[in-house]
């Protein structure tokens, strides 16, 4: 479990693909403190929960499956990676609860300055539209953000200067593809309503 508060921006330094399409990826950890990270621990990389299988002083390795590659973005050599270590029970929950299980990939439509901030407009996959609500939470490349507006399959968020500086989101451009994870509370609410409706029909 994660909070969507990015701790460092690393970079994919090396990728070795296997015959089956899986890959071992080495990530330069930049300023992320790895001293308390053990093999088998989880680190969110661009919003994807991955297991550490190798670790050095300033880098770590993860195995990424073909399935993960098929439904996420952000792992090509040289790409910047938002990093967050798994949440501890004693940590502050500064963002919102993020599972690290990406629901789909969206597309950046516009990225325009609004005062000192930037407005980011994104088109969500059709099967995620129902989970996105104005003033609700969404994880974008692992970053916990608040949705400002929703119109059909598009939604808008604002990125303050701190977020632009401390994450890789400032590198986005129109046409960029981004990992999205809907607020898990929306999914539980949907499941409860579906169960209640099914029960009422019995």
For the chain, what is the mean pLDDT? Answer: 93
Q: What is the pLDDT of residues 44-98, one digit of tens each?
A: 999 999 999 999 999 999 999 999 999 999 999 999 999 999 998 778 888 888 9
In sequence order, what are the beta bridge partners of 144? 139
Q: Which pLDDT band, with edges at 50, 70 and 90, does 201 fall under? A: low
pLDDT of residue 88: 85
Domains, the chain, in order of start with CATH, read: 8-85 (2.40.30.20), 104-190 (2.40.30.20)
Cα 14 from Cα 4, distance rounded (Å): 25
CB-CB neighbours of 34 under 10 Å: 19
- Band the pLDDT of 184: cuts 50, 70, 90: confident
Rounded Cα–Cα distance for residues 170 and 44 (Å) = 19
Identify the burial level of 4 via C-beta atoms within 10 angstroms of its C-beta, where 0-12 means exposed, 13-18 middle and 19 or more buried: buried
197 pLDDT band, cuts 50/70/90, is confident
DSSP class of 72 = -
For CA atoms 38, 40, 41, 46, give the dihedral sign: positive
> Can you give the pLDDT at residue 186?
78
Question: In 14-166, where does DSSP find H-type helix?
Answer: 66-71, 161-166
Mean pLDDT value of segment 177-193: 86
pTM: 0.92
Residue located via tokens 């300055």:
113
- Look at residue 202 in the predicted model and tell me its pLDDT: 60
189 phi-psi bin (left φ>0, alpha ψ -120 to 50, beta other): alpha
pLDDT at 50: 98
How far is it, in rounded angstroms, from Cα 63 to Cα 26?
9
Kindly give the residue spans of alpha helices, DSSP state H, lying in the chain: 66-71, 161-166, 184-201
Nearest 5°: the CA angle 175, 137, 118 is 45
Residue-wise pLDDT tens digits, 123-161? 999 999 999 999 999 999 999 999 999 998 999 999 999
Give the rounded percent of residues in the chain with a pLDDT score beyond 90.
82
Structure tokens at 127: 């099967």
Other CB atoms within 10 Å distance of the CB of residue 164: 16
CA dist., res. 47 & res. 96, Å (int): 13
């Amino acid at each position: 479990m994660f909070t969507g508060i990015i701790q460092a921006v690393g970079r994919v330094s090396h990728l070795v693909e296997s015959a089956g399409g899986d890959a071992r990826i080495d990530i330069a950890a930049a300023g992320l403190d790895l001293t308390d990270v053990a093999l088998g621990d989880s680190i969110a990389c661009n919003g994807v929960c991955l297991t550490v299988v190798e670790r050095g002083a300033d880098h770590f390795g993860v195995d990424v499956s073909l399935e993960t590659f098929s439904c996420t973005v952000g792992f090509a050599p040289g790409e910047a990676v938002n990093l967050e270590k798994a949440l501890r029970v004693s940590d502050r929950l500064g963002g919102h609860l993020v599972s690290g299980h990406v629901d789909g990939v969206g597309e950046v439509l516009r990225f325009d300055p609004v005062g000192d901030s930037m407005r980011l407009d994104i088109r969500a996959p059709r099967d995620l539209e129902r989970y996105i609500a104005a003033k609700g939470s969404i994880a974008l490349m692992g970053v916990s953000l608040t949705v400002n507006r929703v119109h059909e399959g598009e939604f808008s968020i604002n990125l303050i200067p701190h977020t632009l500086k401390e994450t890789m989101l400032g590198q986005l451009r129109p046409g960029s593809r981004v990992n999205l994870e809907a607020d898990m509370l929306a999914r539980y609410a949907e499941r409860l309503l579906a169960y209640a409706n099914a029960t009422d029909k019995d």
